[in-house]
Chains A and B, each alone.
Chain A
């Protein structure tokens, strides 16, 4: 009996192994019914180290739930290396992003947790099962802000959804949030660059911004008379840059923000000196020389017939 007590006491005294990071879903337990739409928030806690990059891979049962949208609004990730991908056949949500300079935890006095990574909007598509789990797969990762790319030890916490036959909500919270959003994405510069071995040295545009409300949806560029979807970086169709450059950011509610482009801010182009243009120039010069010679020949001997050799 004493031995058992000793073991139990020892277990309590053993130090708990703190992990360097935690990924969790809020709320951890939910109750929704068939037809409901709800929002699951993904949050990050760093325990004692600063972290700067996250890869999240979520799984959910497709017979009960369906991920219909993803909001980056108010995410602490300002750079997205893998845009959120919602595969409704496999039942996965995958994305990767980072925080330049790192995230070191909640600052004392902060009005909110300020640790949100993203929000997944789910719909309950069937009520045959009574429970659905939203889980982090083993592919999820967090990296330390140590300049070495060290993977942090990670603990993940799944969410449980109890399923009812009837809906719980009278309204759709995601539609409400989007409907309230009248603020466009944050201002951003349109950067024109030319780099060796990137798009063959031709001019390309670089842009990025965030939307703190419903979240950024996509970017569009005005080229060849139309607005079309675009991702950064993008090789410019008009390499002369004379027509100006127009890129806009659009959030989930449709609010738009035009980026700022400063005329003349582009560096000198690094496209190679040889190339199609020079080749054409050479051909033109050759033809001119030949033509000139023919004209001069005719002037020198206008009446003399040219005999075959």
Chain B
């Protein structure tokens, strides 16, 4: 090969040419690494090159206003619309049919004519012959619940306090509007309290879950309520239902199963089998919150079954049902479901939700939790049930 090379390029050209070749290759490599989007699998046979910012709407571009001009700034009319970064769309403008109040539009009917209820500058045409204009007068108070009419007061006094019961001396994870925001520890009586002033007034969704001493997670107990401006909103009696484990996932008919877990110390545990209306099985949680009860499967039909439990305090107040466990009575191997913890990091949170979004509407088995062949709202619902934040 060196002979061929020598024949093509004789003399002192060889070394500089070699250096030039290497430099070209390195430059190409850097170019592709920076764009970050070329993969061996992405290379297509019909390549198109388009440069956004050269002032030419190349193939694959919707618009191109030239270097530095593709800002996507607001345009006062269709003629004045500005190309957005990427050259694939326009920025917002009066006449795009989308109401953009933040750019002082009062309406936008998708055109720039004076006719209709919206004029060419996206200002509402006054339909009454008397004519409007001038500073707004005191009109009807908007009947939108949740909004506090009047001034916006300082945020420093808005506070929320949440009290409840979990498991003795265990950490309680707090989730607000889907995001994990803190951890508090329950005391020996399983009481916990969480408070925060870093909260805006309005409807809030708080979720709570705890892990027992066995490493079993509780269900996420959610509360939805209005946080009142400049006040302390307290929610009490947030009861995290008992955690529950089943000793075997599969048992021969007539075999014994043990259901066990943690709850509030000295509370009464009621375990319900399937959806039956028969009287539940009961047990008492000990002073450390642990409880256990035995299930004789002799009277249970073969097949899949589930159990769920709640606790009841001495004053009669009860928690809701916790996460149900399933087990199989009979021979053969039960099939497991698909976990909503898609990236298997031990949490069901925004990252899993984002991966789920990407397979929305497909049949991606990773996101098809109920294995019905489609990734749809039923799977989303299963993910929300297991949310940990």
Write the nearest CB–CB distance from A237 to chain B, whole angstroms.
6
Nearest-neighbor residue (CB-CB) of B200 within chain A: A212
Q: Is B6 an interface residue (CB 8 A)?
A: yes
- Out of B38, B108, B353, B387, name the residue touching A68 (CB < 8 Å): B108
B-side contacts of A217, CB under 8 Å: 102
Q: Which of A2-10, A138-146, A153-161 contacts B (4 or more CB under 8 A)?
A: A138-146
Q: Is A224 an interface residue (CB 8 A)?
A: yes
Q: Is the CB of B128 within 8 A of A167?
A: yes
Q: Is the CB of A52 within 8 A of B384?
A: yes
Knowing A169-B140, A294-B14 touch, does A76 contact B351 (C-beta < 8 A)?
no
B-side contacts of A73, CB under 8 Å: 146, 202
Task: Convert B67-82 into 0s and 1s, putting 1 for each residue whose CB lies closer than 8 angstroms to a CB of A.
Answer: 0001110000000000
Q: Is B177 an interface residue (CB 8 A)?
A: yes
B-side contacts of A291, CB under 8 Å: 15, 18-19, 22
B-side contacts of A175, CB under 8 Å: 101, 106
Knowing A226-B85, A228-B86, A253-B102 touch, does A34 contact B117 (C-beta < 8 A)?
yes
A-side contacts of B144, CB under 8 Å: 39, 41, 119, 173, 177
Q: Is the CB of A290 within 8 A of B107?
A: no
Q: Is A303 an interface residue (CB 8 A)?
A: no
Write the nearest CB–CB distance from B107 to chain A, whole angstroms.
7
B-side contacts of A212, CB under 8 Å: 146, 200-203
In angstroms, Cα B90 to Cα A228, docked, is 11
Knowing A191-B350, A232-B354 touch, does A297 contact B127 (C-beta < 8 A)?
no
Nearest-neighbor residue (CB-CB) of B385 within chain A: A147
Q: Is B389 an interface residue (CB 8 A)?
A: yes
B-side contacts of A274, CB under 8 Å: 40
Write the nearest CB–CB distance from B339 to chain A, whole angstroms.
11
Q: Is B99 an interface residue (CB 8 A)?
A: yes
In angstroms, Cα B181 to Cα A187, docked, is 11
A-side contacts of B2, CB under 8 Å: 290, 293-294, 297
Knowing A114-B224, A195-B343 touch, does A100 contact B378 (C-beta < 8 A)?
no
Q: Chain A interface: which size bin?
A: 35 or more
Knowing A148-B370, A212-B202, A284-B22 touch, does A101 contact B220 (C-beta < 8 A)?
yes
- Out of A151, A188, A288, name the residue touching B179 (CB < 8 Å): A188
Q: Is the CB of A110 within 8 A of B378?
A: no
B-side contacts of A111, CB under 8 Å: 225-226, 228, 233
In angstroms, Cα B28 to Cα A69, docked, is 47
Task: Convert B86-129 into 0s and 1s, putting 1 for each residue whose CB lies closer than 8 angstroms to a CB of A.
Answer: 10000000000101011100111110000011000000111110
Q: Is the CB of A107 within 8 A of B207?
A: no
Q: Is the CB of A208 within 8 A of B99?
A: no
B-side contacts of A93, CB under 8 Å: none
Q: Is the CB of A306 within 8 A of B85?
A: no
In angstroms, Cα B145 to Cα A214, docked, is 12
Q: Is the CB of A193 within 8 A of B351?
A: yes
Q: Is A92 an interface residue (CB 8 A)?
A: no
Write the nearest CB–CB distance from A208 to chain B, whole angstroms.
6
The listed residue with most B CB atoms (<10 A of its CB), out of A53, A151, A182, is A53
Q: Is the CB of B382 within 8 A of A228?
A: no
Q: Is the CB of B15 within 8 A of A228?
A: no
Q: Which of A12-20, A129-137, A198-206 contacts B (4 or more CB under 8 A)?
A: A198-206
Write the nearest CB–CB distance from B26 to chain A, whole angstroms.
7
B-side contacts of A182, CB under 8 Å: 152
Q: Is the CB of A76 within 8 A of B324?
A: no
Write the nearest CB–CB distance from A57 to chain B, whole angstroms.
12
Q: Is A266 an interface residue (CB 8 A)?
A: no
Q: Is B147 an interface residue (CB 8 A)?
A: yes
Write the nearest CB–CB distance from B69 to chain A, whole angstroms.
11
Write the nearest CB–CB distance from B312 to chain A, whole angstroms.
18
Q: Is the CB of B225 within 8 A of A195?
A: no
- Mark out the residues of chain A between 31 and 75 whose CB falls within 8 Å of any chain B CB in the assembled complex: 34-35, 37, 39, 41, 50, 52-53, 55, 66, 68-69, 73-75
Q: Is the CB of A226 within 8 A of B71?
A: yes
In angstroms, Cα B70 to Cα A141, docked, is 42
Nearest-neighbor residue (CB-CB) of A274 within chain B: B40
Q: Which of B29-37, B254-262, B264-272, B327-335 contacts A (4 or more CB under 8 A)?
A: B29-37
A-side contacts of B139, CB under 8 Å: 169-171, 176
Nearest-neighbor residue (CB-CB) of B110 within chain A: A88
Q: Is the CB of B15 within 8 A of A107?
A: no
Q: Is B223 an interface residue (CB 8 A)?
A: yes
- Mark out the residues of chain B between 362 and 376 whose CB falls within 8 Å of any chain A CB in the assembled complex: 366, 369-370
The listed residue with most B CB atoms (<10 A of its CB), out of A73, A82, A175, is A175
Q: Is the CB of B355 within 8 A of A233?
A: yes
- Mark out the residues of chain A between 78 and 116 whose CB falls within 8 Å of any chain B CB in the assembled complex: 78-79, 81-82, 88, 96, 98-104, 107, 110-116
Q: Is the CB of A208 within 8 A of B179?
A: yes
Q: Is B346 an interface residue (CB 8 A)?
A: no
The listed residue with most B CB atoms (<10 A of its CB), out of A224, A226, A236, is A226
A-side contacts of B276, CB under 8 Å: none
Q: Is the CB of B142 within 8 A of A101?
A: no
Write the nearest CB–CB distance from A288 to chain B, whole angstroms.
7
A-side residues, CB < 8 A to B, are 27, 34-35, 37, 39, 41, 50, 52-53, 55, 66, 68-69, 73-76, 78-79, 81-82, 88, 96, 98-104, 107, 110-116, 119, 121, 123, 125, 141, 143-151, 166-167, 169-180, 182-183, 186-189, 191, 193, 195, 197-198, 200, 202, 204, 206-210, 212-214, 217, 224, 226-229, 232-233, 235-239, 250, 252-254, 274-277, 280-281, 283-284, 287-288, 290-291, 293-295, 297, 306, 308-309
Apart from A53-B384, A103-B224, what 6 extra A-B contacts exist at CB < 8 Å? A35-B127, A69-B99, A147-B323, A167-B128, A188-B179, A206-B350
25 A-B pairs (CB sep. < 8 Å)? A35-B125, A37-B107, A75-B203, A101-B205, A101-B220, A107-B225, A111-B226, A123-B107, A145-B385, A147-B382, A182-B152, A186-B200, A200-B39, A204-B354, A207-B350, A228-B84, A236-B36, A252-B102, A253-B102, A274-B40, A275-B39, A276-B33, A284-B22, A291-B18, A309-B3
